[in-house]
Each structure stands twice: as C-alpha cells, then as structure tokens.
Amino acid sequence: MRKVLFLFLGLFCCTCLWVQKKEKVACIGNYNISRMHGFPQEDKDFAKGVSACFAGMASGKLLIAGGCNFPEIPAYAGGSKKYYRDIYTAEISVDSALVWQRVGQLPQAMAYGVSVSTSNGVICVGGMNEQGALPVTYRIRVANKKAIIEALPSLPCTLDNMTGALLGSKLYVAGGNKDGNASNAFFCLDLERLSQGWQVLPAFPGAPRVQPVSAAQSDVNGQLCFYLWGGFAAPTEGRAASLSVDGYVYSPVANTWAPLPDVVDETGEAVSLGGGAATAWGKHFIICMGGVHKDIFLRALQKTAADYLTHPVEWYRFNKRILAYDIRSQRWQTITCTPDVARAGAALVTCGESIFYINGELKPGVRTPEITRITIKE
C-alpha cells in the first residue's frame, strides 16, 4: 500500500512511493528542498537565467560557465538565442545564500555540452554556440580566484546535446547531435592517458537520443557501469520522430549494453527524462529529475503547431518528480513531486549530501535564474 505524506513549509517532505510490486524494499524518504538566493548580476542578460550551462565543483566551490537564453525578444516572437562564456564560482555554506564571483571566461561562448567534476577541476565537453556545434574539450581549474583553462583532446566530431558521466578516471559521453544529426554515439576519454584521445565505443541500441540523461553507478556485482535513459530525436527522411523512456546500461568490463527498466512514476506511467538531469546517489541509487512531457513533446516533434511556443508554463507539463532508480531491485521510486524541478536543460551538481539544480527553462525559450538545493539522506 502506497503512503504519501506531503508537507510544504518552505520545503517538501514526504515518504517515498514505490511502484511495481508491493514488497518491502529500501527507499529514500529523508530529504529537504530549498531555493537558494543569489545569482550573478554583472551581466544583465545572464542574470535572467540560462539553460544548458556547464557546472561542477572546483576547488571546493560551485562553478557555472556558459549557457544560453533569449534575453530580449521571446523565442515565440522570433527572438535570437544568446550564448555566454563567463565563468562564476560561489562558496557553499549551510544557509541558502550564494555569493557569486566572476573568475574568468571560456575560450568561446558555449552551451549544450557535458560537464563533470573531477579532483582536478571541471571538464567541459562539446556543445554549441551561434556559429554551430563544437568538438572541444576543456578543463577549468580555479586558483587565486582566477579560472585556468586547459585544452584537452578534442572529440573526433562535433557533439552537442549529449550526456556524460565519469567512471573512475574515464569520461564517457553518449548520444546527442553528432555532426548535426541525432545519434547513438558513445565515446570515452581516459583522463590518465590523454595522449590516446577520445575512443569510439559500441553505440547504444535503439533510437538515437538527443538530451538523454546518464550516471555512473555500481551494478549488483560492484562493477562501475554507465546508465542511460531518456532522450528524443526529431524526424528525418526515413525515420519518424522518437521519444525514449527506456534505458540501457553499459558494462566497461564486457564492453556491451544491456536493457534497463523504463522510467515510471508512482502510478506506473512512463516518464520522459529527455532534457532532464541525473546523478548517482549513495551506493545503490540514481536520482533523476526534470525533463519534457513525453506526449506533448512527441507531438511537437512530429508536427510543430504554429502556437506551440505560446502556451503558459503549466501547459507543457514538464516533469516535476524527483525519481530514484534502485540498482538492486531494478525499480523506480518517486521521492516527491515539486514544481522546483519542473525544468528542462537545468544543470545538476552534487556536493556532499546536496544536489544543486541550476537554472534551466520553465517552458520552451523561457529560462529561470532559480537554483534549488535538494538534500537527500538514504
């Protein structure tokens, strides 16, 4: 029997909702959600909030870089998208205040790539800007309040709107637009053997995926694997539009992909994570949140209506669930539902017991400067 306790007093607290079988299983039910205060104000356009920025932890500080928005004319009115290159950092404290400092710039304005935190800085891969898609890889380190940019091996192609995760010393990226086309691409860069460059790995099965989510987590045998869900692809000649709710897991040891259970909510309804975000949590969980609504967005991919961009935020029904996948039971759990995560293109950064969910769009073309902190305990 599912039990729900929903309380809003500046934060949400509820018991978890398990789907599929009614067996007693471990769940995540201990968490807080709070809105942070403070966002960079030096650039009035950037201050309106961005989507698809690069983000991570560097020298113990929260770091954001790049991103894009429609600062003047809205997207539905034909406005131009603006890309950014500034890099900002902020100290993390127990309160809800973030004080940002501009510490440098990326070599170029960019967004829609992959970023991961490492012990030696934040690595940013691929993406795009006004001139097109990019093959670049950079490492951002921060010393003496200044960003230090190091160029790492470039991808063998341009790649944007993909996903990625760090497994030990190896950085994996999957999906996205490869040289302009939705793909099943899968690449790996060994950070301890940079001279080898990016390696091409077996493509994941099924439909190509733009804006999927991924995380690195140990399987039931303790082997670190790459987990992938969600994504979508626009129609092309010979291929219909697609929106994926299924997933696959890649084993580096076996060098093969295997299917995963579809993403579902507390009622068993399929959930799209396309445009969402994911992260490993603890030893057994993967936390996922945000993303477009599967039916509404698929209809838009199939045939975009003239008024698709003009509806109010609520009409788009972006995913407002924080979901957890348990590696051991292979089941999905809804931790809670909150409008604070109903975004697409938000960046996600983990720090200790906290997840920072940064900016993103509330509807197509409309960004938010909000940053949400989700604190979870198993």
Tally of CA atoms within 13 A in the half-sphere of 267 that contains its CB: 5
Joined tokens for residue 315:
């009409």
Q: Tell me which long-range contacts 320-324 makes (C-beta under 8 A, separation of at least 24).
A: 321/265, 321/271, 321/289, 322/31, 322/287, 322/288, 322/289, 322/374, 323/263, 323/265, 323/271, 323/287, 323/288, 323/289, 324/16, 324/27, 324/28, 324/281, 324/285, 324/286, 324/287, 324/288
Query: Among candidates 272, 291, 298, 267, which has minimal Cα distance to 357?
Result: 291
Give the span between the Cα atoms of 76 and 80, in whole angstroms.
10
| Residue 152, token pair as written in the block | 């790492």
Q: How far is CA 188 from CA 160, 191, 193, 200, 357, in A?
A: 15, 9, 11, 7, 26
- What value does the mean pLDDT take over residues 162-191? 98
Question: Each residue of 276-316: pLDDT tens digit?
Answer: 999 999 999 999 999 999 999 999 999 866 789 999 999 99
78 Rama sector, left if φ>0, alpha if ψ -120 to 50, beta otherwise? left
- Write the CA distances from 175 to 164, 205, 230, 365, integer angstroms: 9, 11, 10, 23
Residue 30: what pLDDT?
85
Mean pLDDT for 330-346 is: 97
Res 17: pLDDT:
42
Q: Which of 28-37, 78-87, 193-202, 257-266 has the lowest mean pLDDT?
A: 28-37
Global confidence as pTM: 0.93
pLDDT of residue 12: 36
The values of phi and psi at residue 314, to 5°, are -60, -30
Give Cβ neighbours of residue 65 (< 8 Å, ≥ 6 apart).
Answer: 53, 54, 55, 85, 86, 87, 88, 106, 115, 122, 124, 140
- Give the pLDDT score at 7: 33
Say whether pLDDT at 215 is over 70.
yes
Q: Looking at per-residue confidence, does 169 or 76 come out higher? A: 169
Q: Is the per-residue pLDDT at 342 higher than 60?
A: yes
User: Mean pLDDT over all residues of the chain?
Assistant: 92
pLDDT at 217 (0 to 100): 98
pLDDT of residue 11: 35
pLDDT of residue 257: 98
Strand 132-133 versus strand 128-129 pairing type: antiparallel
Question: What does the pLDDT read at residue 304?
Answer: 63
Question: What gap in Å lies between CA 241 and CA 41, rounded to an integer?
Answer: 39
Query: What is the set of domains in the chain, with CATH numbers?
Result: 12-377 (2.120.10.80)
Question: Does 18 score more than 60 pLDDT?
Answer: no
- pLDDT recorded at residue 142: 98
Give the pLDDT of residue 20.
38
pLDDT over 70 (residue 46): yes
pLDDT value of position 28: 72
